[in-house]
Structure 1
Amino acid sequence: MRFLQSGENQRDIFYSAAGSYPEYSRTIPRNNTQKQNYYYPIAFFGGSFTGIPVDLQEEYLKEAFVFVKTGRVSGIRLSTRPDYINETILVLLKKYGVTTIELGAQSTDSEVLQQSGRGHTPEDIQNASQMVRAYGFELGIQMMIGLPGDNYERSMQTASDIVSFGAQNTRIYPAIIVKGTTLERRYREGKYTPLSLELAVEWTKDLVRIFEKSNVSVIRMGLHPSDELVIGKSLIDGPFHPSFKEIVMTKIWEEIIHAKLKGTTSYNIRISVSDRQMHYAIGYKQANKVQLQARGYTVQFAGNPAFSQYQIDVCDN
């Protein structure tokens, strides 16, 4: 997937100002992007693509559409603000092979949106979602937890709204404090406190279960571990962790394992799970395995390629 950063003119209080759209479209490799029988899409992310001038949108879409027409990519996906969607824009995006539109909703709670300076309303999110789906695009809706005014119930309601709006995929980001933002100023003034990592993980765990129950694909948990965040150059405070998803999945599997062990009398056990889930079942830094051992279990984990995502079997070892 190619990530091409678009220009940014929105009023988010949790992002640093982004630069203007660079000439990245000229750098896309001309070789085939097929890998393991899957063609990757071209992605315009990092801002609100439909917020840049229409002639510039068309220029970049034309360049990307060359790869769509020749079958070298699976399509084009982009992110934008809910209030930057209209029928004229959607006709243009359809013309040039855009397949997926992700809306940066962040929350569907009016108070959270107002306190966060988002500049759009819950109605904007719902209306944009309806239009995106009506034009046949795959709909993604991004959410952010721990914004000013947010709480557990409001985040869970946002997830439920995202499901009801017909999203096919979502991204869950925890709000963090970055240098040079309004949120940093509020933090310095004692007017905002970010979520702890522990709370962010707990909320995200519950959000994931809501989305999965409704077959909404969670395509990202946590912020991309850029160099500036990893080394702390731009990070002031907040629940950033480069292995955020792994920690969340560890907590999900902790609950699954504990529920399965209820009524088990043996303390020498073998836990079988899906091959793809085994590292999550064992846990980040083997947290679940260590916890079981601390409770007196002698435990062995095994992967089974025939198991479904959360299928588990426990037997005497």
Structure 2
Amino acid sequence: MKAVTVPFFISHQGCPHACVFCDQRVISGSSGSLPSRQQISDTIDSWRSSAAGRPLDVAFFGGSFSALPEQVQDELLAPVQSFLESGVVRSVRVSTRPDCLDDATVRRLAGQGVSVIEIGVQSMDDDVLALSGRGHDAAASEAALRCIKEQGLAAGAQLMPGLPGDTPAAAFRSLERVIAAGADFVRFYPVVVLAGTPLARSYQAGEYRPLDLEQGIALCKQLLHRAMRGGIDVIRIGLQAGDGLNSATVLAGCWHPALGQLVRSELYFDLVRQIAAAVPDDAPFSVTCHPSRVSDVIGQKRRNLARLRPSGISVRVVPDDALLLEEVVVEYLGHCFKGNIITDLNYNISEV
């Protein structure tokens, strides 16, 4: 049974640096104040009542959890313990910086029920990290990921394609390195330029040019494809839409409230287009896919279908739960062609 995530935002708490791109309070819509013990207990109780029996995962997002004073960490985790013991809460997840973890810290967190640690890697290129004001190098991220894995916890890595000095090839190498270091899952957050940040000033001065939406989608689809081939879960693409992200706060960059769906949809478009190349231009055809992927095949505002047949010739999309999530079947006039995103698509990163 899929768990429900109970989020607690501790925006920028514990962070010893102010990175050029960062404004966690805008990103999360939270003031960044720490929740009290009672607030944590009450929030978990509230989510339990609406979870319809599903287990809960508690997550502390936004700040650098392990950089907080140990007493503060203990106070945040203490009210969760009874819920862990009763089985109401299945696991606890924290986010932190890679240079704020060591074996002793991971063991202490694991002893208090933490089973997942995400680290803000952002890039595995030391020049990109320096230009972004991260205050650590790529080796720190590799060491942190290995430390998490050695202690038996699940490790996550957050990557930010498009930072100053970054290139598509460098972003791809960053993903390869976190996979090699043992990451169990990743998030892709292509850069968004937020008003009031040092990055915004560089952008407004013409010194920095972020990926736009089209460029970000083209890069992220290839990163997603590589992760899929490596068996690595991609649990999010793009910042979550919220009250803090709007036309006043987002100056530029790759942002869309449904960016993940746009990226996945491109993979299905590329696969169907590749398979349908054998279909005569004047022939209607159908595409069969898993029911949960129908919207990805169709595309937002039916964009994929319009690109497949700009002449308006019929393209019918049919659900079939016997297919794998990554599979599609193209049929026309008794001919049938099957393809799989993971095994049948190939990309050249230089094309981005």
TM-score (norm. length: structure 2): 0.86
Q: Give 2:120's match in structure 1, choosing from 104, 112, 116.
A: 104
| Counterparts in 2 of 1:20 and 1:37: CA distance versus 1, 3 Å | closer
Q: Secondary structure at the residue paired with 1:101?
A: strand
Superimposed CA distance per residue, residues 59-87 of structure 1 (whole angstroms, 9 cap, x where no aligned partner)? 11111222111100110011110001012
> Counterparts of 1:193 and 1:222 in 2: how far apart (Å)?
18
1:242 aligns with 2:257: yes
The aligned counterpart of 2:79 is 63
Aligned counterpart, 1:307: 323
Q: Distance in 1 between matches of 2:179 and 2:50?
A: 31
Moved more, 293-302 or 270-279: 293-302
Q: Contact between 1:8 and 1:20, CA under 8 Å: does it hold in 2?
A: no
* One-letter amino acid of the structure 1 residue matched with residue 85 of structure 2: K
CA deviation vs aligned residue, 1:257-307 (integer Å, no higher than 9, x gap): 011112223711111011111110001111111222314531110111111
Structure 2: gaps of 5 or more residues: 26-31, 334-352
Q: 2:22 aligns with which of 4, 15, 26?
A: 15
List per-residue Cα deviations over 1:82-111 (Å, max 9, x = no partner).
001012211211111111101110000111
Partner amino acid for 1:261?
A: A
User: Does residue 270 in structure 1 map to residue 283 in structure 2?
Assistant: no
In structure 2, what is the equivalent of residue 256 of structure 1?
271
CA RMSD for the aligned pairs? 1.7
Alpha-carbon distance between aligned partners in 2 of 1:65 and 1:249, rounded to the nearest angstrom: 37
Q: Following TM superposition, by how much is the alpha carbon of 1:189 offset from its aligned partner in structure 2, in angstroms?
A: 1.9
Give the drift of 1:21. 2.3
Cα contact 1:272–1:303 (8 A) shared by 2: yes
Question: Aligned to 1:119, which of 135, 151, 166?
Answer: 135
Paired residue type of 2:23: S
Inter-partner Cα distance in structure 2 for 1:315 and 1:177: 44
Give the alignment partner of residue 6 of structure 2, picking from 2, 5, 15: 2
Identity of aligned residues (%): 28
Q: How many residues align?
A: 316
Q: Which residue among 188, 194, 206 is the counterpart of 2:210?
A: 194
Aligned with residue 55 of structure 2, among 33, 39, 58: 39
Q: Is the partner of 1:50 in helix, strand or coil?
A: helix
What displacement does 1:233 show? Answer: 3.0
Quick check: 2:102–2:144 contact (8 Å CA) kept in 1? Answer: yes
Q: CA deviation at 1:37?
A: 6.3
Structure 2 match to 1:223: 239
Deviation at 1:20, TM superposition (A): 3.8
Alignment map for 1:47-196 (pairs within 5 Å): 47-196=63-212
The CA deviation string for residues 23-57 of structure 1, in whole angstroms up to 9 with x for no partner, is 34243232636847641300000111111111000
Give ranges in structure 1 of 5+ residues lacking alignment: none
Give, as a single letter, the amino acid of the residue that structure 2 aligns with 1:3: P
1:29 aligned counterpart, secondary structure = helix
Choose 33-42 or 255-264, whichever is displaced more: 33-42
**Residue type of the alignment partner of 1:105:** V
Q: Distance in 1 between matches of 2:168 and 2:204?
A: 24
CA distance in 1 between partners of 2:52 and 2:78 (Å) = 27
Q: How far off its partner does 1:58 sit?
A: 0.7
CA distance in 2, matches of 1:161, 1:99: 22
Q: CA offsets, 1:158-210, max 9 Å, x none?
A: 11111111111110001111122111111122211111110000000000001
Residue 228 of structure 1 contacts residue 235 of structure 1 at CA under 8 Å; is this kept in 2?
Answer: no
Judged with a 3 Å threshold, the aligned counterparts in structure 2 of structure 1 residues 173 and 17 are, in CA distance, closer, same or farther, namely closer
The residue type equivalent to 1:82 in the other structure is P
Aligned to 1:207: 223
Aligned-pair CA distance for 1:15: 1.3
Q: Which residue of 2 aligns with 1:27?
A: 42
